[in-house]
Amino acid sequence: MAKSKGTIGILTGGGDVPGLNPAIRAVTIRALREGYDVIGLRRGWAGIMNVIRDKKADNSENYIHLTEEIVNRAGRTGGTFLHSSRTRASHVPKVNVPEHLRDTYTDEINDLTPEVLKNLEWLGIEYLIPIGGDDTLSYGVHLYQQGFKVVAIPKTMDNDVPGTDYCIGFSTCVSRTIQLTNIIRTSAGSHERFLVLEVFGRYAGFTAMLPTMAGAANRCVIPEHKFNIEQLTDLMTYDRNKNPSKYSIVLVSEGATFDGGEMVFQDQETDMFGHKKLGGIGDLVSAALKELSPKYNNGHRINVINQRLGYMVRGGDPDAIDSIVPMAYGNLALDLILHGIHGRLVVLKNGRYDNVPLDVVTSSKKVVDVRKHYNTERLRPHYKSFEMKPLFIMTSEME
């Protein structure tokens, strides 16, 4: 049997999206055929953080040796069979410190990076491929700065990882949002109502903008622009009265805020990256639209159908783009490793696959350019020309 060239580790962190399993499959199959062993780290950064460095210990909850059989079976499905978590090994609350390390790490917030580096060495992992959004990848940047070899793959439904036009999960999210909107619109039309749909998007409004541009909704409100509720009510009433079926639709990003208001959170608990769980702006918009509607509708109230699309847009099988791009990204990551290159993020730029320095993840933010792409008077996407624009119109930083 040929001697292994070394071991590659792979993990998925943050929110699940369709396309993660195809990416794991692509990395694993290519790596095995090139002579590497592949270890799948479970639950994002939590798996490698929880490893017990003892051959007799049961680490089956923390990592798995990947084979073609394992990844082929999972590769056609949504979600991530390696599981995921929002773990930040440099900022671990005392309650989350692994049991076997609680005598050593006793602060309220602990940096377990030294343990992570020892665990990677103990497993023989030479290269690490994290698949995630800017939170997951920011810890990948931290490890790279500590001297570890990291090649990253961008994933997030919001499509807001800097440095790339495309993140795994975005296309399926947009497809699913359009599909679900079209399912619910028949009820809105039957009852002549406003339809308010809350979608994911903490800091970036791409997941509300693209479906609206594609014709799924009349209006959208996004995190990048504080909206005036009177203006929205006026526009939604106008749209409804112009529609032969007497309904209108607004997509509301979870991170959108009222003019003069703040983000709406489900509760005050934060994850290890300091984020509170968003959710509820759709409820507030619905209540306000209903209350204000008589003012713009000759004294007659307009009722509202209010639905949070939530996990419906991130579950299920990947679409064509989220089957093809992860396959390409996985192979791009292996190409870099085979050439001894690391500290890179694989990307799509202007329709072509490429790679950029990994620290782009922490050095900038990627959001909708309101001036170029959002009409603040009409609360909907705005464009002058589609010529030479990227596939998803507003998702490039290079214009």
| Burial class for 183, CB neighbours closer than 10 Å (0-12, 13-18, 19+) | exposed
Looking up tokens 């959004």 gives 133
- Asked if 11 contacts 150 with a C-beta cutoff of 8 angstroms, the reply is no
- Strands 304-308 and 344-349: what pairing? unpaired
* 14 φ/ψ sector (left φ>0, alpha ψ -120 to 50, else beta): left
Spot the catalytic one: 37, 135, 158, 165: 158
In this structure, the number of other CB atoms found within 10 A of the CB of residue 369 comes to 13
Q: CA–CA separation, 338 vs 6, rounded Å?
A: 11
Question: What value does the CA radius of gyration of the chain take, rounded to a whole number of Å?
Answer: 23
Is there a catalytic annotation at residue 58?
no
**Edge-to-edge, what's the strand order for the sheet holding 63-65?**
63-65, 36-41, 6-12, 125-132, 149-154, 344-349, 352-357
Q: CA–CA separation, 298 vs 280, rounded Å?
A: 29
- Asked if 365 contacts 162 with a C-beta cutoff of 8 angstroms, the reply is yes
Q: CA–CA separation, 282 vs 252, rounded Å?
A: 6
Spatial CA neighbour of 84 closest among 143, 28, 42, 31: 42
In this structure, the number of other CB atoms found within 10 A of the CB of residue 138 comes to 17
Active-site residue numbers?
A: 158
